[in-house]
Amino acid sequence: MKIELKNIPGSQGEEYGFDYLCIDDVIDEKSAVHMGDLTIGSKDSVTKLSILSVQELRKYFTGLSFKIDQNITEWGIELNLKLSYYADEGEYSTKMKERAIYPAEAVINIEVDVRKWNKTYSLENLITLYKVISDKYDNLIFHPDSNMLNDGDLGSFIFTVDDHMKLGEVIKLAQTNYIKVSEEVLELLPQSQLSELLVTLFEFPEEIKTACKQYLIYFGQFLADIGINANTSIKDEANKVLFTIIPEDGTEALDKIKDALEIYINAPANPNIDSQITASSDIAVLQWSANVSHLRGQVMLAQAAIQMKDATIETLQ
């Protein structure tokens, strides 16, 4: 098997500074090799490389990552095989001979989109169970992702692999480890789920965050005023705001809620909304108008405060 790294003129690789994997003169345009780390998007390339051992792969790459198949959970997983570590404490070494070789480490990343989470059990419960169950097994560690809202990963399983293992064997071991832990975890979780649930993630400037959260809180009353009963909740997560809406009338109401939320969120920035609101004498519409005006006022105060602060800094300088 002949393995090379190729650059394609005019490609994204040339634009962003990465090469493509080439096996036996066939270029995998779904791959990317950057600073020794290979990301594979083609199952065909994974199959071809699966006959090589960890030791053989180490001649070409410092790491490999690709999605692997499993049928135990609805969320996906990615295998990240770390082949080498560098002697300069994580900084990329320009001299490949300086890298320090340790036992290869396999990392199974659990890819859960927390913004679309719609289960009756919480992410915290899921993480706790993954940690407790994995602790029962030797050579298997679970690390929660402390920044899962940004990274999109729930956490990772980590285990070491022998240099003589072929990549295909590593993949099978990863699948076995993930499946055996997940089966136990799922048995301990509630079997029912809430498909009729809407989760939206917001990131507000700190100066107006409180005002924006207050505006979101009123959305529950806004829904009630238009005849939709729903429960709402707001939670701060990693400097972001997680807004959850659970309709009491099921999936049919969910589509109406999505439309209503879009109108509600865009209203403060819509210059035409004022004439539409003031034309109504409905008490609910007038209440909404007051909330829109309050939010706008808070934004203006925040902008004025920033301008005053900037002016003060310029004066002091």
- Taking CA atoms, 92 is separated from 17, 134, 141, 249, in Å, by 15, 31, 26, 55
Question: Is the CB of residue 34 less than 8 Å from the CB of residue 27?
Answer: no
pLDDT (tens digit per residue) in 252-299: 677 888 888 888 888 888 877 666 666 656 677 777 778 888 888 887
pLDDT recorded at residue 297: 81
Domain 198-316 is found in CATH 3.30.70: yes
Model confidence pLDDT, tens digit, residues 90-148 = 333 343 334 444 567 888 888 887 666 667 677 777 888 888 888 888 788 888 877 66
pLDDT band at 309 (very low <50, low <70, confident <90, very high): low
Give Cβ neighbours of residue 76 (< 8 Å, ≥ 6 apart). Answer: 67, 111
Give me the residue spans of the domains in the chain: 35-188, 198-316
* Cβ(158)–Cβ(145) below 8 Å: no
pLDDT bracket for residue 56 (50, 70, 90): very high
Q: What is the pTM of this model?
A: 0.59
Res 293: pLDDT: 81
